[in-house]
């Protein structure tokens, strides 16, 4: 097996949800500068285009004078690269910011469910009862001789509400497809490792919309837990719903003092892959 990682591999996920734009921007700059994750997965960014665009290339022809110019200069100073598909509805749910010393080998959007009629009791479908299509943002990365492939996700909410049968069915479809994605890349990584090539280990991160610290909700994630260890801490009030799914050992932390109703979660790798026992994972990171 691959030797124990001797440098910091840190991932972060943040659902910017309820925070105001100015605070979201400050949150992101602070998070990137203090935690320096190799990738920050973002959720609920559909109405944040003006904020995220500040992380795109900015040609500074003069000293920034307007608030917008100063904001773009601050974003540029982080050096992070924005990955966001503006051509599809995915832009409303998932995006990523990648550290400048990380090589992006490829990235793409994968649909994990079509737009579906679920009823108006589902968050995000209050207007017409229709849940939007959902996507996984796949990012293949290389850094310091290591390879990873990340899947940034945002599962449909309200699956545990009484009477939301169609929402639970949709949730099951999304989890199954993400579990299949993880398992496929895990097998590829194991095959590469077996013949002495650098394995590209998978990791899934984002808003799982099911709390790992609530057994009834955790059952919704069972297909993913069959193939990966799940990590989370309470990030949305008392619910541990912003998750990391991986076979790499690590620790998860939740950051305080941010503006959204979700707290940013950070996962730091501490070792090499370890096979979990199906359905018998201890409450990883749940303290």
| Domain assignments of the chain as residue spans, ordered by start | 10-273
CA distance 256 to 275: 31
Q: Is the per-residue pLDDT at 235 higher than 70?
A: yes
Task: For the chain, give the mean pLDDT.
Answer: 86
**11, 47, 28, 10: which is closest to 259 by C-alpha?**
28
Structure-model confidence comparison of residues 80 and 46, the more confident one = 80
79-108 mean pLDDT: 85
Percent of the chain with pLDDT over 90: 62
Given a cut of 80, is residue 2 above it in pLDDT? no
Q: Grade residue 21 by pLDDT with cuts at 50, 70 and 90.
A: confident
286 pLDDT band, cuts 50/70/90, is very low
- 135 forms beta bridges with 111
Q: If pLDDT is split at 50, 70 and 90, which confidence band does 251 have?
A: very high
- Residue 5: pLDDT band (50, 70, 90) is very low
pTM: 0.89
Residue with tokens 């909410």: 157
* pLDDT above 60: residue 4: no
pLDDT at 87 over 70: no
**What is the torsional sign of CA 191, 248, 270, 278?**
negative
What value does the mean pLDDT take over residues 247-268? 96
Superfamily of domain 10-273: Endonuclease/exonuclease/phosphatase (3.60.10.10)
Nearest to 72 by CA among 85, 59, 62: 59
pLDDT cut 70: percent of the chain above it: 86
CA 154 to chain centre: 7
């Amino acid at each position: 097996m691959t030797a124990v990682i001797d440098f910091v591999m840190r991932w972060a996920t943040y659902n910017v949800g309820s925070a105001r734009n100015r605070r979201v921007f400050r949150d992101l700059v602070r998070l990137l500068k203090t935690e320096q994750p190799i990738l920050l997965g973002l959720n609920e960014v559909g109405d944040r285009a003006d904020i995220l665009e500040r992380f795109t290339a900015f040609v500074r022809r003069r000293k920034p004078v307007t608030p917008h110019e100063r904001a773009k200069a601050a974003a540029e100073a982080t050096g992070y690269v924005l990955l966001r598909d503006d051509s599809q509805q995915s832009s409303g749910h998932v995006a990523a910011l990648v550290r400048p010393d990380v090589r992006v080998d490829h990235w793409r959007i994968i649909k994990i469910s079509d737009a579906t009629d679920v009823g108006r009791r589902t968050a995000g479908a209050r207007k017409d009862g229709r849940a939007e299509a959902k996507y996984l943002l796949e990012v293949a990365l290389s850094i310091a001789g290591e390879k990873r492939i990340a899947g940034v996700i945002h599962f449909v909410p309200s699956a545990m509400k009484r009477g939301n049968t169609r929402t639970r069915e949709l949730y099951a479809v999304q989890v199954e497809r993400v579990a299949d994605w993880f398992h496929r890349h895990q097998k590829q990584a194991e095959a590469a490792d077996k013949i002495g090539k650098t394995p590209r280990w998978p990791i899934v991160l984002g808003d799982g919309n099911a709390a790992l610290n609530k057994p009834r909700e955790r059952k919704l994630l069972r297909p993913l837990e069959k193939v990966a260890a799940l990590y989370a801490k309470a990030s949305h009030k008392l619910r541990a719903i912003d998750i990391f799914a991986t076979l790499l050992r690590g620790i998860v932390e939740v950051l305080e003092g941010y503006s959204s109703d979700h707290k940013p979660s950070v996962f730091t790798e501490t070792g090499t892959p370890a096979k979990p026992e199906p359905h018998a994972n201890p409450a990883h990171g749940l303290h």
